[in-house]
Amino acid sequence: MAKSLLFIPDISGFTKFVQTTEVEHSQHVIAELLEVLIESNTQELELAEVEGDALFFYKEDEVLSQERLLAQIETMFTAFHSHLKLLEKNRICPCNACATAPELQLKLVAHCGELQYLSVQSNRKPFGQEVIEAHRLLKNSVDSDNYALISKELASTIELPIYYYSKVFRFREGHDNYDGKEVAYIYSLIDQKKLKLTIFSEGKKLHFDSPPNLINRVVLPISAPALLEYITNYGLRHLWVKGADKFEYNENEVTRLGSEHICVVNGKHLDFVTVTKEVAVDQLVYGEMTTSPPPVDALYQFYIITPVSEVSCRLEVQTYWTAKSLVKKVLLALILKRVFKKNVDTSVWDLVKLVTEKETS
């Protein structure tokens, strides 16, 4: 029977991350990273299972060449650390989960052997001694949480030299004992500075030469970070933004600069993107813009939150719009400004009611 490849990328620091940070946002971050790792699978590996903070891939009756294996490992590390840079660069949420996400790391174990398979309700999954051994290799004595580890069995099969090195890899020997059996491997620490990370553009930071067209101010009985969560969590939008049929967004993504969502009103899709503007050091800000509404060329809304105490804050909603044509300007002056004002007033009031009810219940 031909040997098969076992390939397990495992996000390091996940347990501490969840225990010490806001659970919902940490789950979103981990889900995003797992999706990134799955999308960076360039070698047609089969995904057997998502194991919490890890992915269990395999390639039946085939072992990648050393060139393809190392390329796949480098691709996954590059995608993983590139995404962490994106999270760091475009973060708007001040919570611990979002703030500490860039500290997460990746360890990756690759092994090979003859596999057995178990089928349950049409789901076929590898099992047996080699699967156990691959997972045991995740519990090793490597003094790092950011490395690639290749079993001696796999290294020998693909003729990968023990002390192979390149710009990204510098392998060395290691071994550990599992149930009285010594298992040898080679491993390389991965320095993200040596990876060719994807350069993501920063989200839009806008500047306005004129004051807002509309301003709403209100004080709420909630901390500034908690209010920001109400505003940036698109799953809560339907509770305080009335008149929309539904909101479409990526449920596995923490809102950040560049995040997109769609507001469907009477069958029409209004496309929004998250932006920001300069505010005072002690303030939090969430902004969004759309070019979808026909009456204007662009509409911008900023929610600026100023802490008053640990359990209260002041919210200022600033609304800007641009209109180039004379017809649009006349419509805005005569009719549409009152419509916009009524809609914003209603949304702010409904947000106040929602927050007050939930925080006092």
pTM of the model as a whole: 0.89
Q: 295 vs 127, 326, 339, CA distance in Å?
A: 61, 12, 11
The answer to whether the beta carbons of residues 78 and 195 sit under 8 Å apart is yes
As given in the structure block, the two tokens for residue 325 are: 């044509």
The answer to whether the beta carbons of residues 58 and 130 sit under 8 Å apart is no
Residue 203, Cβ neighbours under 10 Å: how many?
A: 20
Long-range contacts for 57-60 (Cβ within 8 Å, ≥24 apart)? 57/5, 57/6, 57/7, 57/8, 57/9, 58/4, 58/5, 58/6, 58/7, 58/115, 58/126, 59/4, 59/5, 59/7, 60/4, 60/115
As given in the structure block, the two tokens for residue 285 are: 């800000």
pLDDT digits (tens), the chain, 361 positions: 689 999 999 998 877 777 776 888 888 999 999 999 999 999 999 999 999 899 999 999 999 999 999 999 999 999 999 999 999 999 999 988 898 899 999 999 999 999 998 887 778 889 889 999 999 999 999 999 999 999 999 999 999 999 999 999 999 999 999 888 889 999 999 999 999 999 887 788 899 999 999 999 999 999 999 999 999 999 999 999 988 899 999 988 999 999 999 999 888 899 999 999 999 999 999 999 999 877 888 999 999 999 999 999 999 999 998 888 887 777 777 777 888 889 899 999 999 999 999 888 7
As given in the structure block, the two tokens for residue 227 are: 């209010």
Domains and CATH numbers, the chain: 4-194 (3.30.70.1230), 205-360 (3.30.530.20)
